Copies of this chain bind each other. A is one copy, B any other.
Amino acid sequence: MKYSRQRELIREAVERSTHHPTADAIYQEVRKKEPNISLATVYRNLNQLADNGIIRRVAVPGEPEHFDHTMAYHEHMICTQCGCVVDIWPEKPLYEQFEALSETGITGYDLILHGLCRACADRNNLKQD
């Protein structure tokens, strides 16, 4: 992978992001510094970065793909109320649980948990009181 200013900006944008941006969100962000960048370039580079294990793809059914800069093992929960994606840090990797599920072995998985994020849960509690 040879250097490109665009890829570097994209990588930095994912790195900085606290939530889990989509390709379009990254596009909007990078455009602030590189107004002429093409959405195609963003897609190409996000794919390249993901394929090289530099960022992580987060597939959410029925939504455009999200991306995550945190490569350390963790899971994701999508808030059923506001739609935000939150990191979940299990004490033990779920992977161990899954391995036993198939005689022929489990080589990977895609998992999205559904629930309420802290903010939405708190907001709901306030209304109830």
Contact = CB atoms under 8 A, between A and B. Distances in A.
Interface of A: 57, 59, 61-62, 75, 77, 80, 88, 90, 94, 97-98, 101-118, 120-121
B98 A107 contact: no
A104 B120 CA distance: 9
A80 B107 contact: yes
**Copies of this chain in the oligomer:** 2
B114 A101 contact: no
A118 B101 contact: no
Contacts of A112: 109-111
Find the residue from A101, A108, A118 having the highest chain B CB count within 10 A: A101
A111 B120 CA distance: 24
Contacts of A97: 94, 97
